[in-house]
Amino acid sequence: MIRLPIGHSDSRSIIDEKFTFFDKTLFIKKVINERAKVILITRPRRFGKTLNLTMLEYFFAEKVYSIPTKGLFDGLKISRETLYEEYQGQFPVIFVSFKDVKAESFEKAYEQISSLFIHLYAEFSYLEKSDSLSETQKAFFCRILIREGDKSDLIKALQVLIECLFAHHKRKPIVLIDEYDTPIHFGSHKGVL
């Protein structure tokens, strides 16, 4: 029986659970060859944007949720490309989704985004002890983790995380942002904006 990944938006679960799917992994090659600093994917709802972003995360990151990604793409089209070994699992990756930031007020949206960044920083908690970070960076990192950051810290949180990952890994991180417009759409629909 053919098992289709209806409702799934995580590449790893589709691959690991042996669902039948269309191999879109050559999209990774297109992203690599694009060499753009920013790629904005604007497609209609339910078009597979989240699935493609998680595929990029699993491809470029060495680990996702502490689980190694090595071998995940073996047998798929991208694994037959010459760039496979050079890029697979070689980058720090920040994946942030704003899909659950749906608040009735600015204050609630702020709380939800703050929680989102606390969880994001927790994924990279090893940076707290990195010898490659300055004491200022470590202090900032700690403030976010223990919820002592203020609004100005939250505004800088993504940029500082990028800088910390670069300092530690000596490689620019890949930043993937999903559902970036959800807070805006929800807020305007509810009259918050």
Stretch 18-23: mean pLDDT, rounded? 70
pLDDT category at 176 given cuts 50, 70, 90 is very high
The alpha helices in the chain, defined as continuous H runs, are 11-16, 26-34, 49-60, 84-87, 106-123, 135-145, 151-169, 182-189
pLDDT at position 14 = 67
Lowest-confidence region among 69-78, 134-143, 158-167? 69-78
Task: Please state, rounded to an integer, the average pLDDT across all residues of the chain.
Answer: 88
Confidence check: pLDDT of 193 > 70: no
Confidence check: pLDDT of 19 > 90: no
Q: pLDDT per residue over 27-80, tens digit each? A: 999 999 998 888 888 776 767 788 899 999 999 999 998 888 999 899 899 999
Provide the whole-model pTM: 0.88
82 Cβ neighbours under 8 A, 6+ residues apart: none
Q: What angle do CA 115, 117, 119 make, to 5 degrees?
A: 70
